[in-house]
Structure 1
Amino acid sequence: MSISDLDYQWFQRINELGHIFSALNPIMRLFASYAEYVFYLGVVVYWFTRQSIKRQMVVESLLSASFALGVSGLIGHYFYRDRPFVTHSVLQLISHPANTSFPSDHAIGAFVIATSIWLFRRKEGTMWLLLAACIAFSRVWTGVHYPLDVLAGAGIGITAAAAVHQLFMRSTRALKCLEAIIHLYEATESKLWRRIA
């Protein structure tokens, strides 16, 4: 049995849960369509706590996300895969354009931010990783991704976050540059607050 066949079998098993446990479908729609906004809100909240270490965490997460989504774009360009609802009869619970399915950008975005947080704040990061896993699972449940799409997305997101974090851990020059940018922003922010006050 090929990986593609195994992937489709697992997709069928997960997607079929929408028929078996239909009461959970609204929750899965919520995770699949809107839970990503919790990550965006989280990044904003962490930034405006005005703590330098949290701001470093946010900058790392945004750099990691940019890198990871760039990789995703390249993969999607050279390895096009139809969405499950394009080639199969599925239970599709959310609307979605019939664009490339592999890898999952939702999984990348969720896992890259969750991993960035986990690298700085283990307990909170674990909760963010659980939410990321719920998003990834829901994308299969709702019929818009195969399991391999979200696993690849999670892998890309985690790898990108870890790589960027290691860059700043190992390169004093890169870390000083990041700290200088944050310091410049904070100095500008302080001036603006003084003017408003």
Structure 2
Amino acid sequence: MDYHWFQLINQLGNSLPALNLVMRLLASYALYVFYIGIVIYWFTRQDLKRRMVAESLLSTYVAITFSGLLAHFFYRDRPVVTHNVIQLISHPANASFPSNHTIGAFVIATSIWIHRRKVGKVWLVLAAGIAFSRVWTGVHYPSDVIAGAVIGIAAAVLMHQLFKRSSLALKWLTKFIYWYEAVESRIWRRNETPRSSVIK
């Protein structure tokens, strides 16, 4: 069944070739939009957004660690290794299950959605596009990306619940953000040009 759905999606590369470039971009580069997004959110210097970014980064670490364990104990070859596929992007023949691209996209999108519902929906749609494109371009089976989405969403939700329910965890997260902001403030002050030197 998994291979059947893979074939249906992957064969769209032949029947709808006009969309192949879009799918290549989604599969290879769209994840960088998430990285740029969380950097921008962080440097808005708003407490809620910095907590959101911190949660997403911790969730990503947990999710990718769990993914590595799954890939080790339930190793699965990529479609290109065992089937004739339409492979639109190059990729090493490493573990296919689960999809780390999908995990990364969904864990960040879910973290954003938890804190910012309206814009979070846009991020979730983009994450779904990445997941779909990874099958279209021939580097993952549908179950790989479904598992990645589930892991990403679960990690983001569980991490948020941890900080929501544990005052100790929230205290340490707040301390880390406060420490970072103190260091950041010192760096900015150090790099400022004294007014007296400008007058001279």
Q: Name the TM-score, length of structure 1 as normaliser.
A: 0.96
The letter of the residue matching 2:163 is F
Give the count of matched residue pairs.
192
| 2:5 aligned with 1:10 | yes
Structure 1: gaps spanning 5 or more residues: 1-5
Q: 2:142 aligns with which of 144, 147, 165?
A: 147
Q: 1:177 aligns with which of 172, 183, 198?
A: 172
- The 3-state SS of whatever aligns with 1:160 is helix
Where do 4+ consecutive residues of structure 1 move more than 2 Å? Answer: none
Distance in 2, matches of 1:196 and 1:121, equals: 33
Q: Name the TM-score, length of structure 2 as normaliser.
A: 0.95
CA deviation profile, 1:121-155 (whole Å, cap 9, x unmatched): 00111100000000000000000000000000000
Deviation at 1:184, TM superposition (A): 1.1
**Which residue number in structure 1 is paired with residue 54 of structure 2?**
59
Structure 2: gaps spanning 5 or more residues: 193-200
Distance in 1, matches of 2:121 and 2:128, equals: 11
Tell me the C-alpha RMSD between the 2 structures.
0.5
Distance in 2, matches of 1:75 and 1:185, equals: 33
Larger radius of gyration: 2
Identical-pair percentage: 68
| 2:67 aligned with 1:72 | yes
How is 1:24-63 mapped onto 2 (pairs within 5 angstroms)? 24-63=19-58
CA deviation profile, 1:13-67 (whole Å, cap 9, x unmatched): 0001110000100000000000000011001100100111111101100000000
Distance in 1, matches of 2:128 and 2:20, equals: 16
Distance in 2, matches of 1:173 and 1:30, equals: 42
